[in-house]
Amino acid sequence: MYNRLVKNKRLLVSLPLLLAASLFFPSYVVPSAHAQFTGLVCITASTAATSCPVSPPSLGPFTVGQTFAVGVFVQGSDAMGGFDIYVASNPAFVTPVSAALGSLIVSPSLTSICVNGSAVIGSCTTGPGVVEVSTIESSGSNECGGVSPCSGMAFTITYSVVGATPSTSLSYPTAAGCSTSSVSSPPNTCVVIADNLGTTLPENIQGATVTIGAPLGGMVCITSLPTATSCPIGAPDIQTDSAGVPLKVGSTFTVGVFVQNSAPMGGFDIYVSANLSYLKPISAALGNLIAHPSSTSICINGFSMLGGDPPTCGGDGTADPGGNGPGDVNGPGVAYVETLDGTGLNECGNISPCSGMAFTITYAVVGVAPSTNLFFPISPPGVPMGASACMVSSVSSPANVCCLVADAQGTTIALDCQGANITQNINVVQTNKFFTDSSLNPLPLDNHGNPMVSVVLARGIVQSTNPGQVLAWVNVTNTGSTSLQSLKLNETLPVDWTVDPPWMPGKGAIHVYYANTTSLATNPEITDPSTITVTAGNPEVVHLAISSLSATAIGHPLLPGQSVLLSVKLTYGLIKTGQSFASYPRNYTDTASAVAWTQASYTGTKVSATSSGFFVAYAKVVGDPGGDAPIIDVTKYAIV
């Protein structure tokens, strides 16, 4: 979600303008500010804190439905004239509901407060789970009388606990738009504290952890499988489809909406929302919770799939007589399912607790995002019931959560509602090992299906191998959703086998190919000897380092689905040495580890993978095997 953060530059622009304006009015002399102190921006467990804790605080444990407040405190900084600070949480567990200025800036001006992407004051470009607060001193002076160090509460944030998890964090996001930052590491941290001249002041940062226990009562939850029989503890992190295939653009997957440990119910009315830029609901189907469903409505992306009850399907945002008014949360990205038990009775024989799968939703992954979430949307307050607002909800706090389970008499059942995280495998690299002979034929297989070579022994001396040379191959494939620009590959060769001929640039034992054909013999070569080194020893290690794939003969990054091949020609290092026949067969293992980056020069997002392969060497004895295995002297006999 942080890739949508764009650094707000108005703080740096406005401070010197205000200072210039103040020169036209009488004022006290502002002491000169020099960067002598490195302050600390921290999360405090109390909104009334007067200093930062010694270490990141652990908040909680809380339970779903609770609220709590924290402070964002600046300690020991150079005297400042304003700030612009972002704080991020995982909205599947902890979602911010409000923020307010503290006392650090005495006379705030040009204040902006943004919560979950919505502007409370001013304007903003944040997203779910993110709070941004910025303000400057209206007098044009620095705080603390311009005397450093300067400390105070910058602002406070109130959070609502919406999902259980052993631990989640409150932190400061990073984004390319935050290149101007008070924090040196990690770079692009969205924290700026500046003096009245607009000079960025150096700061360290300290976040907090939040622990959340499992809900004590019943709940409605998103499950990673449509066949689940219970809710997970904490919002699940869904990374694969039901077949275990990692999610990426083009994938489809199905989740469940499960009701657990509820009072017996007679029906439900539940919305589930996703960010349509990344996930698109394509269908929904009832589960087994309601035994005799009736008056069912299913709406996907604002369109009726079943039932088509006008007050609850459409989501066009207009105050039409059908009821799709300003409080209607149906629309793009939303799956809505409503049904009642046609018998007029409660489920589970009217015995508590009552659990079951309410319905399932199938999604398509349509956009690239490291992580996004499925959640129960909140309808705007103050909208008449006829406009389909979710003013009646099973969730007590926050208000208007579109998650309603009721008994047969229409009485609302109190429940918690827990969403889910969806994680894409955006940048994934995969390595595979295989072996051929020098003619590119796969090695023959032994009786166990393993590739094999023969080691020829005569009188206990290794004479040769068959095949005479082995090609060890590594296939590096971009299995993610974004291109890869730079690559490092290390291959640890089998012991006793050496690069042949010994590697020097131009000797021809090592080759790199762009695997864009169906045959090893026709793949175009992109070998650049300057990118290859070999570390001597037993085993030998081959190192390949390509700082820019675009600069190779490929001419572009390694796109999703594309592969690079490394081939190393090996010969047996034990030829002409004494080896015991009894020491065979021997397994020879080759290991490859690859690291790839999304940008050139080994920068950007980094992904890695390792793989290994082996072949088996079997002894083939000719002549006298030597040692304690004498052969018959054939000259003593003749066939008559």
Cβ burial, residue 16 (10 Å; 0-12/13-18/19+)? middle
In a 3-state reduction of DSSP, which class is residue 242?
coil
Report the C-alpha gap between 424 and 253 in whole angstroms: 12
Output the pLDDT for position 326. Answer: 44
Residue 630 clears pLDDT 70, i.e. is over it: no
Q: How does residue 14 score in pLDDT terms, banded at 50, 70 and 90?
A: very low
| 349 and 307 housed in the same domain | yes
Give me the amino acid identity at 178: C
pLDDT in tens, 137-171: 999 999 999 999 999 999 999 999 887 777 899 99
Report the C-alpha gap between 612 and 634 in whole angstroms: 46
Cβ burial, residue 606 (10 Å; 0-12/13-18/19+)? middle
| 53 and 117 housed in the same domain | yes
Containing domain of residue 158, as a range?
Answer: 2-213
Output the pLDDT for position 244. Answer: 81
pLDDT in tens, 530-571: 899 999 899 999 999 999 999 999 999 999 889 999 999 999
| Strand pairing category for 416-418 and 219-223 | parallel
| 502 and 547 housed in the same domain | yes
| 410 and 505 housed in the same domain | no
Average pLDDT, the chain: 85
Count other Cβ atoms within 10 Å, centred on residue 204: 18
Give me the amino acid identity at 326: P
| Four-CA torsion 65, 67, 68, 71, nearest 10 degrees | 130
Report the C-alpha gap between 223 and 212 in whole angstroms: 18
End position of a domain, from candidates 213, 247, 278: 213
Output the pLDDT for position 96. Answer: 94
Q: How does residue 605 score in pLDDT terms, banded at 50, 70 and 90?
A: confident
Output the pLDDT for position 632. Answer: 32
Give me the amino acid identity at 600: A
| 442 and 414 housed in the same domain | no
Report the C-alpha gap between 443 and 450 in whole angstroms: 9
Residue 251 lies in a domain: yes
Structure tokens at 457: 């022994």
Residue 207 lies in a domain: yes
| 198 and 315 housed in the same domain | no
Structure tokens at 113: 């407060």
Beta-bridge partners for 144: none
Q: How does residue 77 score in pLDDT terms, banded at 50, 70 and 90?
A: very high
Count other Cβ atoms within 10 Å, centred on residue 271: 26
User: Which residue is associated with the tokens 């589970």?
Assistant: 348
Report the C-alpha gap between 140 and 110 in whole angstroms: 12
Beta-bridge partners for 590: 613
Low-confidence winner among 284-288, 378-382, 533-537 (lowest mean pLDDT) = 378-382
| Strand pairing category for 165-170 and 118-121 | unpaired
Question: Nearest Cα to 7, choosing from 206, 127, 181?
Answer: 181
Output the pLDDT for position 80. Answer: 97
Q: CATH no. for residue 286? A: 2.60.40.680
Q: CATH no. for residue 593? A: 2.60.40.740
End position of a domain, from candidates 373, 398, 423: 423
| 203 and 227 housed in the same domain | no
Structure tokens at 142: 């620095």
**Number of domains comprising the chain:** 3
- What's the rounded mean pLDDT across residues 79-87? 97
Global pTM value: 0.47
| 149 and 225 housed in the same domain | no
- What's the rounded mean pLDDT across residues 81-89? 97
Output the pLDDT for position 190. Answer: 96
pLDDT in tens, 445-474: 999 999 999 999 999 999 999 999 999 999
Low-confidence winner among 118-132, 510-524, 621-635 (lowest mean pLDDT) = 621-635
| Four-CA torsion 259, 260, 265, 271, nearest 10 degrees | -20
Give me the amino acid identity at 632: I
Structure tokens at 383: 């909208």
